[in-house]
C-alpha cells in the first residue's frame, strides 16, 4: 500500500512535467490511479482500526487474566507484563524495555526465562512468594517459560497462583493425620486391655474395670466415626434444611432434657430467656436441636459443679441470635477464631478431655451455615464462654 502511495506521488510528479500530447491518456490513467489509491487508503485505515481494536482487546484480556503473563524479546528485553505478572513478581513500573535479569528478582523465574530464550522447554517450577495469600497461608505460584514461536526468538512466561491448591492439599493431609491420630489412641488402649484379658488370668473385679475401659474407648471411636460421617455428608451437601416454624423456648427445653442426667449430676442451673420477637424461628428442628445440643453439651463439659448456663434468644435487626453462655474457663482470645476448625482443641494435652471428638463445633458451623446463618465464639466480660448462633429472621410471623 505504501508502494501505491509512492507510485502515486512519482506519477503525479511525472505528470506535472509531461508533454501536452500525452495529457488525455495521462489524465485517464491518473484518475484510475487516484481511484485505486483512495480505495487502498480506505483499506489501510480500516486495517489500522482493526489492529487497534485487536490491540485493545488483547490488552483487556491480558489485564483481566488471573494468570501472570510476561513476554521477553530475543534480546531478553521485557516487551509485555500484564497486571497479574506485575503483582506476582512485584515488578516495578516502567520496566518495559529493560533486560529481564534486571527486572525479575526471583532466581527460579530468571532461570526459566534464560532456558526458554535458548529454545529449551523446561518443566514448570514452583516459586514461593514473600507475600501472604488471601486465605492467610504462604503464597506460592507455578512458573513456566516457553520459547516464543515467532521469528526472532523471545520467550513467554506464564505464572499461576497455586496458593489455594497447596492450602487445600495441606488441609487434607492434616485431616488424614488427625483422624489417624484420634483413632490410634483408643485403638491402642483397646488392644492393650484385650491382650491383657486374653493372656493373664484376671480377677473378676479387674476384668470388669478392663471391660469398662474398652467400652469407653470403643464409644469414643464410635463417636468419632459418627461425627466424621456427618461432616462428610455436610461437606458433600447431602443434608438440606427442612425448615419449619420452631418455638425456641421448647427447643431450649428439649435439648436441656436430653442432657438432664449430666445437668443434674453436676447440679447445674439452666436459665432460659426468650424475647417475644425471637420466640419463633424458621429452621430445621432436628438440625437446630443438634447444633444447640453440641453447644450446650460443651457448656456443661466446661462448667464447674453448681454452675449456671444461660440460654438466650433475642432479635437483632433482621437476625435472631441464639446464645449459650457458661461460667467456665472461657476460650483463650487467640483460640476464639479457631475453635470451629476440625479437631481444634484449646487443650492439646487433652488432660481434661471429656470425651469429645474435636469435631463438634465444626459440625455446628456447618449446620448453622445450612440455614444461611453464622456461629461465633466470644468470652463474657465476667468469665466464661458464649457461643452465638445468628440466623436470618422473618419478623412478619
Residues at the site binding ligand ADP, with contacts judged by CB under 6 A: 298-299, 302, 326, 328-331, 339, 344-347, 356-361, 385
Which of the 8 DSSP states describes residue 347?
-
CB of 347 to ligand ADP, least distance (A): 6
Alpha-carbon span 384 to 388, nearest angstrom: 13
Count the Cβ atoms, other than its own, within 10 Å of residue 116.
Answer: 22
DSSP β-ladder status, 385-392 and 374-379: antiparallel
Beta partners for residue 147, in sequence order: 155
CB of 291 to ligand ADP, least distance (A): 11
DSSP 270-339: EEEEE-GGGSEEEE-HHHHHHHHHHHHHHHHHTPPTT-EEEEEEEEETTEEEEEEE--SS---GGGTTTT
Alpha-carbon span 224 to 240, nearest angstrom: 22
Alpha-carbon span 143 to 107, nearest angstrom: 12
Which residue of the chain is nearest ligand ADP when measured via CB? 356
CB of 172 to ligand ADP, least distance (A): 19
CB of 340 to ligand ADP, least distance (A): 7
CB of 330 to ligand ADP, least distance (A): 6
Q: Where are the alpha helices (DSSP H) in the chain?
A: 2-16, 23-64, 83-88, 100-103, 107-117, 163-199, 204-235, 248-258, 260-265, 285-301, 360-369
Nearer to ligand ADP, 129 or 231 (CB): 231
Nearer to ligand ADP, 360 or 373 (CB): 360
Nearer to ligand ADP, 27 or 383 (CB): 383
Nearer to ligand ADP, 285 or 329 (CB): 329
Nearer to ligand ADP, 160 or 366 (CB): 366
Mapped onto helix, strand or coil, the DSSP state of residue 149 is coil
Nearer to ligand ADP, 133 or 379 (CB): 379
Nearer to ligand ADP, 112 or 357 (CB): 357
CB of 142 to ligand ADP, least distance (A): 35
CB of 378 to ligand ADP, least distance (A): 11
State the cell numbers at 4.
Answer: 501505491
Amino acid at each position: 500500500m505504501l508502494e501505491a502511495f509512492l507510485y502515486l506521488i512519482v506519477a503525479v510528479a511525472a505528470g506535472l512535467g509531461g508533454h501536452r500530447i500525452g495529457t488525455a491518456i495521462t489524465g485517464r490513467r491518473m484518475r484510475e490511479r487516484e481511484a485505486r489509491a483512495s480505495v487502498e487508503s480506505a483499506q489501510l485505515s480500516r486495517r489500522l482500526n482493526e489492529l487497534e481494536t485487536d490491540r485493545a482487546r488483547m490488552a483487556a484480556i491480558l489485564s483481566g487474566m488471573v494468570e501472570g503473563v510476561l513476554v521477553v524479546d530475543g534480546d531478553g528485553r521485557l516487551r509485555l507484563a500484564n497486571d497479574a505478572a506485575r503483582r506476582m513478581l512485584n515488578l516495578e513500573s516502567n520496566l518495559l524495555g529493560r533486560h529481564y535479569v534486571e527486572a525479575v528478582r526471583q532466581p527460579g523465574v530468571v532461570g526459566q526465562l534464560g532456558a526458554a530464550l535458548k529454545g529449551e522447554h523446561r518443566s514448570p517450577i514452583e516459586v514461593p512468594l514473600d507475600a501472604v495469600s488471601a486465605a492467610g497461608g504462604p503464597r506460592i505460584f507455578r512458573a513456566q517459560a516457553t520459547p516464543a514461536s515467532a521469528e526472532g526468538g523471545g520467550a513467554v512466561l506464564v505464572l499461576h497462583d497455586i496458593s489455594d491448591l497447596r492450602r487445600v492439599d495441606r488441609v487434607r493431609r492434616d485431616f488424614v493425620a488427625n483422624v489417624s491420630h484420634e483413632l490410634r489412641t483408643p485403638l491402642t488402649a483397646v488392644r492393650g486391655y484385650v491382650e491383657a484379658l486374653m493372656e493373664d488370668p484376671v480377677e473378676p473385679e479387674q476384668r470388669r474395670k478392663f471391660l469398662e475401659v474398652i467400652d469407653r474407648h470403643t464409644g469414643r471411636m464410635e463417636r468419632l466415626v459418627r461425627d466424621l460421617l456427618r461432616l462428610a455428608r455436610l461437606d458433600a451437601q447431602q443434608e438440606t434444611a427442612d425448615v419449619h416454624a420452631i418455638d425456641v423456648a421448647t427447643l431450649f427445653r428439649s435439648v436441656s432434657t436430653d442432657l438432664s442426667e449430666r445437668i443434674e449430676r453436676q447440679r447445674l442451673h439452666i436459665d432460659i430467656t426468650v424475647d417475644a420477637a425471637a420466640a419463633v424461628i424458621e429452621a430445621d428442628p432436628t438440625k437446630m436441636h443438634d447444633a444447640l445440643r453440641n453447644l450446650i453439651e460443651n457448656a456443661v463439659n466446661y462448667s464447674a459443679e453448681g454452675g449456671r448456663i444461660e440460654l438466650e434468644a433475642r432479635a437483632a435487626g433482621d437476625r435472631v441470635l441464639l446464645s449459650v453462655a457458661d461460667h467456665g474457663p472461657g476460650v483463650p482470645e487467640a483460640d476464639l477464631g479457631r475453635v470451629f476448625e476440625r479437631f481444634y482443641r484449646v487443650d492439646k494435652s487433652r488432660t481434661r478431655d471429656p470425651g469429645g471428638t474435636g469435631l463438634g463445633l465444626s459440625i455446628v458451623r456447618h449446620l448453622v451455615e445450612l440455614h444461611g446463618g453464622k456461629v461465633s465464639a466470644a468470652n463474657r466480660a465476667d468469665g466464661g464462654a458464649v457461643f452465638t448462633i445468628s440466623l436470618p429472621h422473618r419478623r412478619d410471623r
